[in-house]
Amino acid sequence: MINISAPIITEKDIKDISEVLRSGMIAGGPKVSELEKEFASYCGTEYAIAVNSGTAALHCALYALGVKKNDEVITTPFTFVATANPILMQNAKIVFADIDEDTFCIDPKEVEAHITPATKALLPVSLYGRPFDQSLQEIAKTNNLKILDDAAQSIGAKVENNMAGNLADISAFSLYATKNIMCGEGGMLTTNDPDLNELCRRFRHHGQSEQTQYEYADIGYNYRMTDILAALALNQIKTVEEITEKRNENAKKLSQGLEKIEGITVPSIEANTRHAFHQFTIRVMPEFKLNRDELKSHLQEHGIGSGIYYPKPLHLHPHFKNLGYKEGDFPVAERVAKEVLSLPVHPSLSPEDIEKIIETIKNI
Ligand SMILES: Cc1ncc(COP(=O)(O)O)c(C=O)c1O
Protein backbone atom coordinates (compact mmCIF):
# COMPACT_ATOMS: atom_id res chain seq x y z
CA MET A 1 0.00 0.00 0.00
CA ILE A 2 1.29 3.50 -0.84
CA ASN A 3 0.14 5.55 2.14
CA ILE A 4 -0.88 9.19 2.00
CA SER A 5 1.61 10.00 4.78
CA ALA A 6 4.51 8.17 6.42
CA PRO A 7 6.23 9.60 9.52
CA ILE A 8 10.01 9.16 9.56
CA ILE A 9 11.37 8.06 12.96
CA THR A 10 15.10 7.33 13.21
CA GLU A 11 17.21 5.41 15.73
CA LYS A 12 18.65 8.78 16.78
CA ASP A 13 15.11 9.98 17.65
CA ILE A 14 14.64 6.94 19.88
CA LYS A 15 18.06 7.47 21.49
CA ASP A 16 17.47 11.20 22.06
CA ILE A 17 14.03 10.65 23.56
CA SER A 18 15.45 7.93 25.82
CA GLU A 19 18.11 10.36 27.00
CA VAL A 20 15.44 12.88 27.97
CA LEU A 21 13.57 10.16 29.85
CA ARG A 22 16.76 9.16 31.69
CA SER A 23 17.60 12.78 32.51
CA GLY A 24 14.61 13.15 34.83
CA MET A 25 13.76 16.52 33.20
CA ILE A 26 10.73 15.47 31.18
CA ALA A 27 8.55 18.60 31.25
CA GLY A 28 9.62 21.73 29.35
CA GLY A 29 13.36 22.34 29.76
CA PRO A 30 16.54 22.67 27.70
CA LYS A 31 15.22 20.70 24.70
CA VAL A 32 12.22 23.03 24.34
CA SER A 33 14.53 26.07 24.49
CA GLU A 34 16.89 24.54 21.93
CA LEU A 35 13.96 23.71 19.64
CA GLU A 36 12.66 27.28 19.87
CA LYS A 37 16.10 28.63 18.89
CA GLU A 38 16.39 26.25 15.93
CA PHE A 39 12.86 26.98 14.76
CA ALA A 40 13.30 30.78 14.93
CA SER A 41 16.62 30.49 13.14
CA TYR A 42 15.12 28.31 10.39
CA CYS A 43 12.16 30.67 9.85
CA GLY A 44 14.36 33.77 10.12
CA THR A 45 12.30 35.25 12.96
CA GLU A 46 13.33 36.82 16.25
CA TYR A 47 11.17 34.50 18.33
CA ALA A 48 9.66 31.03 18.34
CA ILE A 49 7.40 29.75 21.11
CA ALA A 50 6.75 26.02 21.48
CA VAL A 51 3.29 24.81 22.50
CA ASN A 52 1.53 21.46 22.66
CA SER A 53 -0.55 21.69 19.46
CA GLY A 54 -1.19 23.79 16.39
CA THR A 55 -4.60 24.63 17.83
CA ALA A 56 -2.94 25.95 21.00
CA ALA A 57 -0.59 28.01 18.80
CA LEU A 58 -3.56 29.61 17.00
CA HIS A 59 -5.28 30.30 20.32
CA CYS A 60 -2.15 31.92 21.80
CA ALA A 61 -1.71 34.06 18.68
CA LEU A 62 -5.30 35.35 18.71
CA TYR A 63 -5.00 36.18 22.41
CA ALA A 64 -1.69 37.95 21.83
CA LEU A 65 -3.21 39.96 18.96
CA GLY A 66 -5.87 41.16 21.40
CA VAL A 67 -8.78 39.38 19.71
CA LYS A 68 -11.69 39.40 22.13
CA LYS A 69 -15.49 39.47 22.39
CA ASN A 70 -17.27 41.18 19.47
CA ASP A 71 -14.09 41.42 17.38
CA GLU A 72 -14.27 39.94 13.90
CA VAL A 73 -11.61 37.69 12.41
CA ILE A 74 -11.72 36.99 8.68
CA THR A 75 -10.76 33.47 7.66
CA THR A 76 -11.37 30.79 5.05
CA PRO A 77 -14.18 28.23 5.20
CA PHE A 78 -11.95 25.76 3.30
CA THR A 79 -9.74 24.51 6.10
CA PHE A 80 -9.56 22.20 9.09
CA VAL A 81 -11.91 23.15 11.93
CA ALA A 82 -8.95 24.03 14.20
CA THR A 83 -8.40 27.24 12.21
CA ALA A 84 -11.80 28.56 13.26
CA ASN A 85 -12.37 27.15 16.77
CA PRO A 86 -9.76 29.35 18.49
CA ILE A 87 -11.67 32.43 17.23
CA LEU A 88 -14.68 31.12 19.16
CA MET A 89 -12.48 30.33 22.17
CA GLN A 90 -11.76 34.07 22.31
CA ASN A 91 -15.52 34.76 22.04
CA ALA A 92 -14.88 36.63 18.82
CA LYS A 93 -16.84 36.37 15.59
CA ILE A 94 -15.77 34.23 12.64
CA VAL A 95 -16.22 35.97 9.29
CA PHE A 96 -15.65 33.64 6.36
CA ALA A 97 -14.45 34.84 2.97
CA ASP A 98 -14.34 32.65 -0.15
CA ILE A 99 -11.19 31.12 -1.63
CA ASP A 100 -9.41 31.37 -4.97
CA GLU A 101 -9.83 28.14 -6.93
CA ASP A 102 -6.24 28.14 -8.23
CA THR A 103 -4.51 28.61 -4.88
CA PHE A 104 -7.12 27.01 -2.55
CA CYS A 105 -6.27 29.92 -0.20
CA ILE A 106 -8.45 32.84 0.86
CA ASP A 107 -9.12 35.29 -1.99
CA PRO A 108 -7.78 38.79 -1.11
CA LYS A 109 -10.65 40.47 -2.98
CA GLU A 110 -13.14 38.54 -0.85
CA VAL A 111 -11.22 39.50 2.29
CA GLU A 112 -11.40 43.18 1.37
CA ALA A 113 -15.14 42.90 0.82
CA HIS A 114 -15.64 41.57 4.36
CA ILE A 115 -13.61 44.13 6.31
CA THR A 116 -15.71 46.17 8.76
CA PRO A 117 -14.85 48.52 11.66
CA ALA A 118 -15.07 45.43 13.93
CA THR A 119 -12.40 43.47 12.00
CA LYS A 120 -9.43 42.84 14.25
CA ALA A 121 -7.29 40.34 12.35
CA LEU A 122 -6.95 38.34 9.16
CA LEU A 123 -6.41 34.61 9.48
CA PRO A 124 -5.38 33.12 6.13
CA VAL A 125 -4.37 29.46 5.92
CA SER A 126 -1.30 28.44 3.92
CA LEU A 127 -3.24 25.41 2.81
CA TYR A 128 -1.51 22.21 1.69
CA GLY A 129 1.82 24.06 2.20
CA ARG A 130 1.23 26.88 -0.26
CA PRO A 131 1.88 30.32 1.28
CA PHE A 132 -1.24 32.51 1.50
CA ASP A 133 -1.59 35.24 -1.15
CA GLN A 134 0.94 37.91 -0.19
CA SER A 135 -1.25 40.74 -1.47
CA LEU A 136 -3.05 40.37 1.87
CA GLN A 137 -0.06 42.24 3.39
CA GLU A 138 -1.04 45.43 1.58
CA ILE A 139 -4.71 45.02 2.50
CA ALA A 140 -3.78 44.50 6.16
CA LYS A 141 -1.53 47.55 6.16
CA THR A 142 -4.13 49.81 4.53
CA ASN A 143 -6.76 48.71 7.05
CA ASN A 144 -4.47 48.64 10.07
CA LEU A 145 -5.01 44.91 10.65
CA LYS A 146 -2.69 42.15 11.80
CA ILE A 147 -2.20 38.89 9.94
CA LEU A 148 -2.03 35.51 11.67
CA ASP A 149 -0.83 32.85 9.23
CA ASP A 150 -2.25 29.38 9.92
CA ALA A 151 1.01 27.79 8.83
CA ALA A 152 0.07 24.39 10.29
CA GLN A 153 0.86 22.79 6.92
CA SER A 154 3.52 25.11 5.49
CA ILE A 155 6.85 24.65 7.28
CA GLY A 156 9.59 24.91 4.64
CA ALA A 157 7.55 27.03 2.22
CA LYS A 158 8.89 30.42 1.19
CA VAL A 159 8.12 33.50 -0.88
CA GLU A 160 11.29 35.00 -2.38
CA ASN A 161 13.69 34.47 0.52
CA ASN A 162 11.09 34.84 3.25
CA MET A 163 10.32 31.59 4.99
CA ALA A 164 6.85 30.54 6.14
CA GLY A 165 6.75 31.77 9.73
CA ASN A 166 8.09 35.12 8.59
CA LEU A 167 5.27 36.08 6.18
CA ALA A 168 2.83 37.48 8.74
CA ASP A 169 2.78 39.34 12.07
CA ILE A 170 2.56 35.96 13.77
CA SER A 171 2.42 32.39 12.45
CA ALA A 172 1.14 29.15 13.95
CA PHE A 173 2.58 25.76 13.02
CA SER A 174 1.40 22.25 13.86
CA LEU A 175 3.75 19.39 14.67
CA TYR A 176 0.99 16.78 14.56
CA ALA A 177 2.06 13.25 13.51
CA THR A 178 1.20 13.59 9.81
CA LYS A 179 2.75 17.02 9.26
CA ASN A 180 5.96 17.54 7.23
CA ILE A 181 7.88 17.70 10.50
CA MET A 182 6.26 16.44 13.64
CA CYS A 183 6.53 15.18 17.19
CA GLY A 184 3.19 13.35 17.53
CA GLU A 185 1.37 16.34 19.01
CA GLY A 186 2.89 19.80 19.15
CA GLY A 187 2.84 23.33 17.83
CA MET A 188 5.01 26.41 17.37
CA LEU A 189 4.53 30.15 17.03
CA THR A 190 6.92 32.50 15.26
CA THR A 191 7.01 36.29 15.33
CA ASN A 192 9.36 39.26 15.25
CA ASP A 193 7.29 41.24 17.75
CA PRO A 194 8.61 41.16 21.36
CA ASP A 195 5.15 41.94 22.79
CA LEU A 196 3.47 39.11 20.90
CA ASN A 197 6.28 36.81 22.01
CA GLU A 198 5.80 37.72 25.67
CA LEU A 199 1.99 37.43 25.52
CA CYS A 200 2.18 33.97 23.88
CA ARG A 201 4.68 32.79 26.49
CA ARG A 202 2.38 33.96 29.27
CA PHE A 203 -0.75 32.49 27.72
CA ARG A 204 0.80 29.02 27.35
CA HIS A 205 1.91 29.12 31.02
CA HIS A 206 -1.31 29.84 33.00
CA GLY A 207 -0.90 33.58 32.45
CA GLN A 208 2.43 33.70 34.29
CA SER A 209 5.45 35.39 32.82
CA GLU A 210 8.55 33.19 32.77
CA GLN A 211 10.29 35.69 35.06
CA THR A 212 7.64 35.98 37.78
CA GLN A 213 5.96 32.73 38.78
CA TYR A 214 2.72 32.74 40.77
CA GLU A 215 1.83 36.24 39.53
CA TYR A 216 -1.30 36.12 37.41
CA ALA A 217 -1.91 39.19 35.27
CA ASP A 218 -4.45 37.59 32.97
CA ILE A 219 -6.04 34.28 31.97
CA GLY A 220 -3.76 31.57 30.61
CA TYR A 221 -3.84 27.89 29.73
CA ASN A 222 -1.41 25.02 30.02
CA TYR A 223 -0.22 24.84 26.44
CA ARG A 224 3.42 23.94 27.19
CA MET A 225 5.45 21.42 25.23
CA THR A 226 7.52 18.72 26.95
CA ASP A 227 11.24 18.00 26.47
CA ILE A 228 10.32 14.43 25.46
CA LEU A 229 8.56 15.67 22.33
CA ALA A 230 10.93 18.60 21.79
CA ALA A 231 13.77 16.07 21.40
CA LEU A 232 11.94 14.54 18.44
CA ALA A 233 10.92 17.89 16.92
CA LEU A 234 14.52 19.11 17.25
CA ASN A 235 15.79 16.28 15.06
CA GLN A 236 12.95 16.86 12.61
CA ILE A 237 13.54 20.61 12.14
CA LYS A 238 17.13 19.80 11.12
CA THR A 239 15.80 17.73 8.20
CA VAL A 240 13.17 20.15 6.93
CA GLU A 241 15.20 21.51 3.99
CA GLU A 242 15.96 18.03 2.69
CA ILE A 243 12.36 16.89 3.20
CA THR A 244 10.94 19.96 1.47
CA GLU A 245 13.23 19.53 -1.54
CA LYS A 246 12.22 15.87 -1.82
CA ARG A 247 8.52 16.73 -1.60
CA ASN A 248 9.02 19.32 -4.36
CA GLU A 249 10.83 16.77 -6.54
CA ASN A 250 7.99 14.28 -6.06
CA ALA A 251 5.40 16.98 -6.76
CA LYS A 252 7.18 17.96 -9.98
CA LYS A 253 7.17 14.36 -11.22
CA LEU A 254 3.49 13.93 -10.31
CA SER A 255 2.57 17.19 -12.05
CA GLN A 256 4.50 16.27 -15.19
CA GLY A 257 2.84 12.86 -15.28
CA LEU A 258 -0.70 14.08 -14.67
CA GLU A 259 -1.00 17.56 -16.18
CA LYS A 260 -1.98 16.43 -19.67
CA ILE A 261 -4.84 14.21 -18.51
CA GLU A 262 -8.15 15.77 -19.44
CA GLY A 263 -10.18 16.60 -16.36
CA ILE A 264 -7.26 16.55 -13.91
CA THR A 265 -5.91 19.88 -12.64
CA VAL A 266 -2.51 19.77 -10.93
CA PRO A 267 -1.45 22.33 -8.27
CA SER A 268 -0.30 25.71 -9.58
CA ILE A 269 2.92 27.23 -8.24
CA GLU A 270 4.19 30.78 -8.59
CA ALA A 271 7.78 31.33 -9.74
CA ASN A 272 8.82 33.26 -6.61
CA THR A 273 7.28 30.71 -4.23
CA ARG A 274 8.45 27.41 -2.79
CA HIS A 275 5.48 25.23 -1.91
CA ALA A 276 5.98 22.93 1.10
CA PHE A 277 3.80 20.26 -0.54
CA HIS A 278 2.33 19.02 2.69
CA GLN A 279 -0.33 17.79 0.29
CA PHE A 280 -0.23 17.34 -3.47
CA THR A 281 -3.84 18.15 -4.29
CA ILE A 282 -5.39 17.64 -7.70
CA ARG A 283 -8.87 18.67 -8.80
CA VAL A 284 -11.00 16.04 -10.47
CA MET A 285 -13.15 17.97 -12.94
CA PRO A 286 -16.38 16.88 -14.68
CA GLU A 287 -14.42 16.08 -17.90
CA PHE A 288 -12.58 13.22 -16.14
CA LYS A 289 -13.95 9.68 -16.59
CA LEU A 290 -14.59 9.18 -12.86
CA ASN A 291 -15.81 11.61 -10.26
CA ARG A 292 -13.56 12.43 -7.29
CA ASP A 293 -14.99 9.78 -4.95
CA GLU A 294 -14.85 7.10 -7.67
CA LEU A 295 -11.22 7.99 -8.37
CA LYS A 296 -10.43 7.71 -4.66
CA SER A 297 -11.98 4.21 -4.50
CA HIS A 298 -10.21 3.18 -7.71
CA LEU A 299 -6.83 4.24 -6.30
CA GLN A 300 -7.58 2.39 -3.05
CA GLU A 301 -8.33 -0.79 -5.02
CA HIS A 302 -4.92 -0.40 -6.67
CA GLY A 303 -3.09 0.01 -3.34
CA ILE A 304 -2.79 3.80 -3.43
CA GLY A 305 -3.97 5.85 -0.45
CA SER A 306 -5.36 9.35 -1.00
CA GLY A 307 -7.12 11.96 1.13
CA ILE A 308 -9.92 14.50 0.86
CA TYR A 309 -8.97 17.73 2.61
CA TYR A 310 -11.68 18.84 3.18
CA PRO A 311 -14.94 17.25 2.01
CA LYS A 312 -17.23 20.04 3.24
CA PRO A 313 -16.44 23.73 3.89
CA LEU A 314 -16.79 24.80 7.51
CA HIS A 315 -19.83 27.06 7.01
CA LEU A 316 -21.98 24.03 6.06
CA HIS A 317 -21.36 22.17 9.33
CA PRO A 318 -23.93 22.32 12.17
CA HIS A 319 -21.22 23.67 14.51
CA PHE A 320 -21.18 26.96 12.59
CA LYS A 321 -24.89 27.20 11.79
CA ASN A 322 -25.51 30.04 14.23
CA LEU A 323 -23.20 32.24 12.14
CA GLY A 324 -26.11 32.39 9.70
CA TYR A 325 -24.35 31.01 6.63
CA LYS A 326 -26.07 28.76 4.10
CA GLU A 327 -25.29 26.70 1.03
CA GLY A 328 -24.30 28.98 -1.86
CA ASP A 329 -22.57 31.61 0.32
CA PHE A 330 -19.05 30.52 -0.69
CA PRO A 331 -19.50 28.94 -4.13
CA VAL A 332 -15.81 28.44 -4.87
CA ALA A 333 -15.08 26.63 -1.60
CA GLU A 334 -18.26 24.54 -2.02
CA ARG A 335 -17.32 23.47 -5.57
CA VAL A 336 -13.64 22.84 -4.85
CA ALA A 337 -14.53 20.69 -1.80
CA LYS A 338 -16.23 18.27 -4.22
CA GLU A 339 -13.21 18.17 -6.58
CA VAL A 340 -10.08 17.96 -4.43
CA LEU A 341 -8.08 14.79 -3.95
CA SER A 342 -4.67 14.67 -2.29
CA LEU A 343 -2.21 12.09 -3.59
CA PRO A 344 0.85 10.75 -1.76
CA VAL A 345 3.84 13.13 -2.13
CA HIS A 346 5.83 12.31 1.04
CA PRO A 347 9.63 11.90 0.94
CA SER A 348 9.56 8.11 1.45
CA LEU A 349 7.92 7.49 -1.96
CA SER A 350 10.10 5.54 -4.40
CA PRO A 351 10.29 6.46 -8.12
CA GLU A 352 8.26 3.28 -8.73
CA ASP A 353 5.55 4.47 -6.33
CA ILE A 354 5.27 7.76 -8.22
CA GLU A 355 5.17 5.94 -11.56
CA LYS A 356 2.44 3.67 -10.22
CA ILE A 357 0.31 6.63 -9.09
CA ILE A 358 0.65 8.32 -12.50
CA GLU A 359 0.04 5.18 -14.53
CA THR A 360 -2.98 4.14 -12.46
CA ILE A 361 -4.66 7.48 -13.13
CA LYS A 362 -3.57 7.60 -16.78
CA ASN A 363 -4.96 4.13 -17.45
CA ILE A 364 -8.45 5.21 -16.46
C1 LIG B 1 -4.85 24.03 8.66
C2 LIG B 1 -4.70 23.49 10.06
N3 LIG B 1 -4.90 24.32 11.09
C4 LIG B 1 -4.76 23.91 12.36
C5 LIG B 1 -4.39 22.62 12.65
C6 LIG B 1 -4.34 22.20 14.08
O7 LIG B 1 -3.14 21.63 14.46
P8 LIG B 1 -3.09 20.54 15.64
O9 LIG B 1 -3.72 19.30 15.13
O10 LIG B 1 -1.62 20.39 15.89
O11 LIG B 1 -3.81 21.11 16.80
C12 LIG B 1 -4.14 21.72 11.61
C13 LIG B 1 -3.69 20.35 11.84
O14 LIG B 1 -4.27 19.42 12.18
C15 LIG B 1 -4.32 22.16 10.28
O16 LIG B 1 -4.12 21.33 9.25
Ligand 1 centroid to Cα of residue 353, in Å, is: 27
Ligand 1 centroid to Cα of residue 262, in Å, is: 33
Ligand 1 centroid to Cα of residue 74, in Å, is: 18
pLDDT of residue 162: 98
pLDDT of residue 239: 97
User: Ligand 1: does its nearest atom lie under 6 Å from the Cβ of 343?
Assistant: no
User: Ligand 1: does its nearest atom lie under 6 Å from the Cβ of 225?
Assistant: no
pLDDT of residue 326: 95
User: Ligand 1: does its nearest atom lie under 6 Å from the Cβ of 80?
Assistant: yes
pLDDT at 43 over 90: yes
Q: Which of 182, 150, 187, 145 is nearest to 165 (CA)?
A: 150
Q: Count the Cβ atoms, other than its own, within 10 Å of residue 167.
A: 25
Check whether domain 11-97+104-237 has CATH 3.30.428.10, yes or no: no
pLDDT of residue 128: 98
Residue nearest to atom 8 of ligand 1 (CA): 54
Superfamily of domain 240-362: Aspartate Aminotransferase, domain 1 (3.90.1150.10)
Could you tell me the residue ranges of all domains in the chain?
11-97+104-237, 240-362
Ligand 1 centroid to Cα of residue 54, in Å, is: 5
pLDDT at 325 over 90: yes
User: Ligand 1: does its nearest atom lie under 6 Å from the Cβ of 183?
Assistant: no
pLDDT at 321 over 90: no
Determine the average pLDDT of the residues in 281-289. 98
- pLDDT-derived band at 287, boundaries 50, 70, 90: very high
User: Ligand 1: does its nearest atom lie under 6 Å from the Cβ of 174?
Assistant: yes
Mutate to test the pocket of ligand 1, among 51, 52, 55, 188 (most ligand atoms within 8 A of CB): 55
- pLDDT-derived band at 120, boundaries 50, 70, 90: very high
